[in-house]
Amino acid sequence: MDESARRAEPPLHEVVLSILRTRPGHPHLAREVHTEVADKHGRSTSVQVVRNSLESLVKKGMAEKGNKQNSVMYTAPARAAPSNRCPNRPPAR
């Protein structure tokens, strides 16, 4: 793959987030996300790299993490209802 084609690809975290958002509220294993990244997006990477991207999304609040039957699951949060308050201003009391 040449350099211009590589630059045209979205970053891995965007691909991972788009996979989670295809089914919001549905938990995914890192292994499942890895398989979809490889199969549908043609990206060759390890499960650990995908897991690191998922953990990064969790830290940024863009994904949720939970445990189910001793497995770590990642979920795209359901979209929150729009707020009328200014994002940089604390809520009025």
Per-residue pLDDT tens listing for the chain (93 residues) = 555 555 678 899 999 999 999 988 899 999 999 999 999 888 889 999 999 999 999 999 999 999 988 899 999 987 654 444 444 555 555
CB 63 within 8 A of CB 21: no
CB 16 within 8 A of CB 50: yes
CB 52 within 8 A of CB 13: no
R_g of the chain, CA atoms, integer Å: 16
CB burial of 70-85 (b: ≥16 within 10 Å; e: otherwise) equals eeebbbbeeeeeeeee
What secondary structure letter does DSSP report for 55?
A: H
Please give the C-alpha separations between residue 65 and each of 12, 18, 79, in angstroms, as whole numbers: 18, 16, 16
Predicted confidence at residue 69, as pLDDT, reads 86
Predicted confidence at residue 82, as pLDDT, reads 43
